[in-house]
Amino acid sequence: MTTVQWTGGTEHWTHKGDIRLFLWNKPAHKNVAPAGTILFVHGSSMASQPTFDLSVPGRPHSSVMDWFAERGFDTWCMDNEGYGRSDKNRPINFDISNGADDLAAGSQYIHQTTGAKNLMVYGISSGALKAALFAQQHPERIAKLALDAFVWTGEGSPTLAERKKKLPEFLAKNSRPIDRAFVHSIFNRDHGACADEATKDAFADAILTLDSSMPTGTYVDMCSKLPLIDPTQVKSPTLIMRGEYDGIASLDDLLKFYKLLPCPNKQFSIMEGISHASFQQKNYLMVYQILHSFFSQPEPTFRG
């Protein structure tokens, strides 16, 4: 395994009570008009830097943070408690509610550090659940919300149906081991051809550099406690992003959630040729463009 080093950004630390949380920042390029501040939220089985600041030789713009920084966005990600460089000491399973609390602490730190009051928040998979719960609890801190590989009730999800078979195992302990084969299974369970092998390997290297096990809390929540989000209480402009081949959420489940979102500024995008880990897919630049279009969309001048 190659040990991965991250460069070109600045590490930051904040606290949630006495819990130490890691943040990583790549600022907007100075020669570009400021476009806003993004907080990227990782999923169940990887920390933030492997997901959002991945370098793959021969794969241009592999880091989504770099790509958005080049377009004027101040980009941030953070490791939830239990992941990556953040504290992992408490004897708990680090569930979705705990992750939303991390985002509250992280967003407060970003505001104090940069002055940004309203963030553009992107979350993927269980990170989308954390982001949506954070948006529900702190609507005043959200400018726009993007939910990728999101799940609402779990109805019609083949991935969660398989995962539920191991629910007793996840309930019995606070962490689960991961290895290279597990990282590859994230891609191969839906449609292995959606991502190239070099990217799968680089992603595995980056993840395993930071962690050899992952918390069980988000798995327990997604297998036994859905729905966790009340769409009528998500008041921000919202983008739902669903990979064509993603097995986490059925299209019907997401459309029902989408219809209940109260803000008229909402979008639903089905991403062709994408399975689950969208930023690590062959069509990743298309995903960037979909997200950029939403985050850069001007505010309406007429609302009726």
Q: What is the mean pLDDT of the chain?
A: 97
Q: What is the pLDDT of residues 21-58, one digit of tens each?
A: 999 999 999 999 999 999 999 999 999 999 999 999 99
What pLDDT score was predicted for residue 73? Answer: 98
Percentage of the chain lying above the pLDDT 90 cut: 97
Phi, psi dihedrals of residue 164, rounded to the nearest 5°: -60, -25
Record the pTM: 0.98
Please identify which residue in the block is written with the tokens 């019609």: 156
What pLDDT score was predicted for residue 201? Answer: 97
Q: Which residues of 247-265 are buried (b: 16+ CB within 10 A; e: fewer)?
A: bbbbeebbeebbeebeeee
What pLDDT score was predicted for residue 304? Answer: 83
What pLDDT score was predicted for residue 296? Answer: 98
Is pLDDT at 135 greater than 90 in this prediction? yes
Q: Which residues of 166-185 are buried (b: 16+ CB within 10 A; e: fewer)?
A: eeeebeeebbbebeeeebbe
Q: Domain residue spans in the chain?
A: 10-296
Is pLDDT at 252 greater than 80 in this prediction? yes
Q: Give one DSSP letter per residue of the chain, joined into a string.
A: -PPP---SSEEEEEEETTEEEEEEEEPPPTTS---EEEEEE--TTS-HHHHHS---TT-TT--HHHHHHTTTEEEEEEPPTTSTTS---SSS---HHHHHHHHHHHHHHHHHHH---SEEEEEETHHHHHHHHHHHH-GGGEEEEEEES--SS-TT-HHHHHHGGGHHHHHH-SEEE--HHHHHHHHHHHHGGGS-HHHHHHHHHHHHHH-SEEESHHHHHHHHT-----GGG--S-EEEEEETT-SSS-HHHHHHHHHH---S-EEEEEETT--S-GGGSTTHHHHHHHHHHHHHPPPPS---
Averaged over 102-129, what is the pLDDT?
98
> Hey, what CATH topology would domain 10-296 get?
Rossmann fold (3.40.50)
Averaged over 128-145, what is the pLDDT?
98
Percentage of the chain lying above the pLDDT 70 cut: 100
Both tokens of 13, joined, read 């630390």
Strands 19-26 and 36-41: unpaired
Q: What is the pLDDT of residues 203-235, one digit of tens each?
A: 999 999 999 999 999 999 999 999 999 999 999
For residue 153, the number of C-alpha atoms closer than 13 Å in the C-beta half-sphere is 11
What pLDDT score was predicted for residue 125? Answer: 98
Residues contacting 21, CB < 8 A, separation 6+: 13, 14, 15, 78, 79, 80, 81, 86, 87, 102, 105, 106
User: For the chain, what is the radius of gyration of the CA atoms?
Assistant: 18
Is pLDDT at 2 greater than 90 in this prediction? no
Dist CA 174 CA 94 (whole Å): 8
Dist CA 177 CA 215 (whole Å): 9
Dist CA 65 CA 180 (whole Å): 24
What pLDDT score was predicted for residue 90? Answer: 98
Is pLDDT at 1 greater than 80 in this prediction? no
